[in-house]
Amino acid sequence: MVEVVPAQGDVSQAQMFETILDNGLLASSLYVNIALAGLTLLAIMFVARGVTDPRAKLIVVSCMMISAVSIASYTGLFSGITMSIIEMPEGHALADATTTLANGEEVNGTISLWGRYLTWALSTPFILLAIGLVAGSNLTKIFTAIVFDVGIMITGLAAALTTSSYLLRWFWYAISCSFFLVVVYILLVEWPKDAEETGTVDIFNKLKILTVVLWFGYTVWWAVGNEGLALISDVAITSWGYSAFDVVAKYGFTFLVVLYVVKEPDEITAGDEWGAPSGAPADD
């Protein structure tokens, strides 16, 4: 008797959740980040409780949002909401792959943790906002960096979910990389000038190097992981690679920024009236 292999759409959320739990390495790559994001959020609230300057507060809140988004999005992954089994197109190394569910059934396709792109689309803008504010950049440059950053994640998601053509997956990846180069240009060329004028060049250089190096790491990891060339075909190992990058790029980054900002140096403070509309009536 030939066993019927269920279609990917027949895999329920409950089955995905059970399959995640059944794979300890994959599950740990998710719940470790949930725990670290929660601890980081609590640490920020404690360390930055005495910050009074409104501009410094905005930087702190930006850092808090990085962890807040991560908690929600990683929980979505862990619960199976933003994770699916997709069949890779012909030409992909995992085109004929099957996934064994927790109940022992085999399903055509491989696990896609597409929810990570939602994580990055909602959290990385706050990383760039914090860097731009530390550098003392203007709204136009910060907005440009954030818009292209979101573009990176949306096209990355398209690359991960495209199953119609192997070539199209790489075309989406190329578009994503081109958007990434715009962000890199702003980080390496535009914002250093602003940081020099602001006087925050020392902390900015640390944040710049950390961000550029790790974001290039994400890009390379996609290419060699199970979504790209599948040189690393194990979804759990691929997931842990992304999680390891997240630990440093998000939580390590957060502590660098917050520990600098809580001292409220003159270079980043702006006074109580910062952000008030011009021409606003003064208090009597």
Chain segment 113-151, per-residue pLDDT in tens: 999 999 999 999 999 999 999 999 999 999 999 999 999
Output the pLDDT for position 41.
96
> Could you tell me the pTM of the whole model?
0.91
Taking 80 as the threshold, does the pLDDT of residue 61 lie above it?
A: yes
Find out whether 84 and 16 touch, Cβ atoms under 8 Å: yes
Output the pLDDT for position 8.
47
Taking 50 as the threshold, does the pLDDT of residue 236 lie above it?
A: yes
DSSP, residue by residue, 127-160? HHHHHHHHHT--HHHHHHHHHHHHHHHHHHHHHH
Output the pLDDT for position 275.
60
**Which phi and psi (to 5°) does residue 106 adopt?**
-105, 135
Task: For residue 181, give both structure tokens.
Answer: 């180069």
Task: For residue 282, give both structure tokens.
Answer: 């003064």
The residues with which 100 forms a beta bridge, in sequence order, are 106
Mean of the per-residue pLDDT values of the chain: 91
Higher pLDDT, 35 or 12: 35
Just give the CATH number of 8-261.
Answer: 1.20.1070.10
Mean pLDDT of the 96-103 span: 92
Find out whether 142 and 129 touch, Cβ atoms under 8 Å: yes
pLDDT band of 276, cuts 50, 70, 90:
low
Chain segment 257-270, per-residue pLDDT in tens: 999 999 989 998 87
pLDDT band of 1, cuts 50, 70, 90:
very low
How far is Cα of residue 73 from the mean position of the Cα atoms in its chain?
A: 10
Q: Which residue in 183, 196, 191, 203 sits closest to 56, CA to CA?
A: 203
